[in-house]
Amino acid sequence: MSIIDYSQKIPNNVDLSSDRTLQRALELWQPNFLSWWGDMGPEGSHQHDVYLRTAVSAEPSGWAHFDYVKMPDYRWGIFLAPQEVDRKIHFGEHLSKPVWQEVPGEYRANLRRIIVTQGDTEPASVEQQRHLGQTAPSLYDLRNLFQINVEEGRHLWAMVYLLHRYFGRDGREEADALLQRRSGQENNPRILGAFNERTPDWLAFFMFTYFTDRDGKFQLCALAESSFDPLARTTKFMLTEEAHHMFVGDTGLSRVVRRTAQLMKQSPHEDVRAAGGIPLEIIQKYINFWFSYSLDLFGGEISSNSADFFAAGLKGRFKEQDQYTDHIAAEGSFVMEVVEGGKLASREVPLRNALNEVLRTEYVKDCGKGLARWNKALADEGVIARLYLPNIRFHRHVGEYAGHHFDLDGNLIARDEFEQRQNEWLPTLEDREYVRSLMHPVTEPGKIANWIAPPASGIKGKPFEFEYVRL
């Protein structure tokens, strides 16, 4: 099961040819996917030869093969992590029973909704990033963008396979709808807020891959615990691909910060703008914006859905198996700050109803690691200023804090004050225009734009000067 069969129209390791009906249905969906890719995939990429990785096996050891691929010829396929023998449900009300290989009727609607919501983010991000190839700071970065784009396309395949295989006719309809919604489109937008935000410049792209893809990591980790085994196996394999996306964001931001620090030191009065770099204040405002939008993706702090999903065994906690001992979580509580009578007050919430917040707390911890690395780049270059994460209450649009106003430290403030000060905290139109003014494509191997430092190493042992994209 684990070797991927590339002789078929749809590469897969799920023995697709043994189920003719399913195979035919997916082969009918395939041209629609390709036409979506043609319309909404990376602009101007269709003639490029790109040094890409393709999955050749779903085994953790040596799963990827690197070579030049013409972008539209990338082989999107269906790859599930190997099945664990005798896997048992390890949390919720069905603890210790065998995992499900088919969808239990009572959970069908919820599972479908989980899969559709996850699936929708994948093409959304490709749509959000489709113009970025026109302004890549180097061929190395251009290649990374395209790698992420093709893999998000593959993640869509991963979810569409589940919909077709396990949800019959409504699954097929949902799969079609995934190709019809469009990021940012008013009458038929993508499901989640952050996936309708524009990603118009490379600073936003690195923020997206650091903060928003990281939400993806935590959602996928929670689903990799699922009692619905095909979902667990699918998301497990997606996580191996996802790691690179976050690496691109993390190292991308490190490189931007390092370059900014260098320009601060080089220019009199630390005037980064005059030197053609991105000032630290703008980087901080982008962090404030993308971090807050990505926090919203975890859903409300107090959520009966999260309780239901956990009790049913559909969605676990982060590292449920390794990190917790009480896998029922029916007792215990979680204390969080909520707004009550115009003030912040502590409220104790039953643990299961606070699981979105539990997952979000893990996420925040993980986000902090990047900040430490970027601040180290500042320290290395002799700059005293530091970057930080705003308080989780700042600039939220979902959950307990939505509709209230907070400063960067999480103090409740009046709307007026927020409106007066938001230009200090969030990117202004002018900030965005300035960043955009720096975005010029650099397409010569070994060359890089002035606003970002080169990476410490290349891809797959190749040097930075390697011709990662043949234009």
| Binding positions for Fe ion, rule: CB under 5 A | 122, 152, 155, 213, 242, 245
Closer to Fe ion by Cβ: residue 140 or 205:
205
Closer to Fe ion by Cβ: residue 136 or 263:
136
Closer to Fe ion by Cβ: residue 237 or 374:
237
The radius of gyration of the chain's CA atoms, rounded to the nearest angstrom, is 23
Considering only CA atoms, which of 120, 139, 119, 125 is closest in space to residue 45?
139
- The CB-of-218 to Fe ion minimum distance in angstroms stands at 12
- The CB-of-331 to Fe ion minimum distance in angstroms stands at 35
Considering only CA atoms, which of 31, 29, 5 is closest in space to residue 17?
5
Q: DSSP E strands: which ranges in 396-448?
A: 405-406, 412-413
The token pair that represents 387 in the structure block: 């970057």
- The CB-of-155 to Fe ion minimum distance in angstroms stands at 4
Residues 73 and 47: their CA atoms lie apart, in Å, by: 10
Closer to Fe ion by Cβ: residue 215 or 400:
215
The token pair that represents 211 in the structure block: 């903060």
Hey, which residues does 64 pair with through a beta bridge?
55
- The CB-of-209 to Fe ion minimum distance in angstroms stands at 7
- The CB-of-437 to Fe ion minimum distance in angstroms stands at 28
- The CB-of-216 to Fe ion minimum distance in angstroms stands at 5
Closer to Fe ion by Cβ: residue 141 or 152:
152
The token pair that represents 156 in the structure block: 């869509």
DSSP 215-264: HHHHHHHHHHT-SBHHHHHHHHHHHHHHHHHHHHHHHHHHHHHHHHHHHH
Closer to Fe ion by Cβ: residue 140 or 237:
237
**Who's near 64: CB < 8 A, 6+ residues apart?**
53, 54, 55, 56
Closer to Fe ion by Cβ: residue 248 or 377:
248
Phi–psi pair at 428, nearest 5 degrees: -90, 170
- The CB-of-13 to Fe ion minimum distance in angstroms stands at 18
Hey, which residues does 405 pair with through a beta bridge?
413
